[in-house]
Amino acid sequence: MTHYSSSDLRPLSVLLSDLGQQLEAYRISRNLKQAELAELAGISRSTLSRLESGNGGTIDSLARIMRALDVEDRLLDIVPDAKLSPLDPLSDTGRARQRVRKPSANEPSEDWSWGDEAP
Full DSSP string of 49-117:
HHHHTTS---HHHHHHHHHHTT-GGGGGGSS---PPPTT-GGGGG-S---S--PPPTTS-SSPP-TT-S
Report if pTM > 0.85.
no
Q: What is the pLDDT along the chain (119 residues), one digit of tens a residue?
A: 455 555 668 898 999 999 999 999 999 999 999 999 999 999 999 999 999 999 989 999 999 999 999 999 998 888 776 665 566 665 555 666 677 777 776 665 566 667 666 65
Domain of 29, CATH number, reads: 1.10.260.40
Domain residues for the domain of 56 are 12-77
Number of domains in the chain: 1
Instruction: Indicate whether 5 belongs to any domain.
Output: no
Instruction: Indicate whether 112 belongs to any domain.
Output: no
Instruction: Indicate whether 38 belongs to any domain.
Output: yes
